[in-house]
Amino acid sequence: MSGTPPARRTVLRAAALAPAVGLGLTACSSGEGGSNRSAPTAPVDLGASDVVKVGASKLYTDQRVVVSRISEDEYKAYSSICTHARCPINKLEGHKLICQCHGSQFDATNGKVLHEPAVSPLPELSVKVENGKLVAGPEA
């Protein structure tokens, strides 16, 4: 294409890159107009408390919360919104939360960053058991 004018070459390169840029934007979006890029703003009922076994963690993707059961009567809850780019985290392996947007990883038992690009820990949420059900969120 040595005979192609520079302006045309630039246009063709841009056209070739457009699908890749679109994929990048899709990876950074929540798929729902960004409406699920925030932690619960009110207490949420997560269901039966015995679903989370002692020493285990459970990710509640719809509520954007992860709960770890530290002991028989101690639970810890954190927002499952990545602190790097506000993507909802949808993957939990053992106690490791993995953000699909940019690869940040967090410890579900304490909210700490295990792998960057995130540098801030996940915000802790209040969690309690009411009538055999877990309730998590601000002022739960």
Sign of torsion over alpha carbons 100, 102, 105, 110: negative
Tens of pLDDT, residues 18-33 = 554 444 444 444 444 4
- Over the stretch 39-86, which tens digit does the pLDDT of each residue have? 778 899 999 999 999 999 999 999 999 999 999 999 999 999 999 999
DSSP 45-58: EEEEGGGS-TT-EE
- Return the amino acid letter for 2: S
Nearest to 93 by CA among 57, 46, 51: 57
Instruction: Quote the CA–CA distance of 98 and 108 in Å, as a whole number.
Output: 10
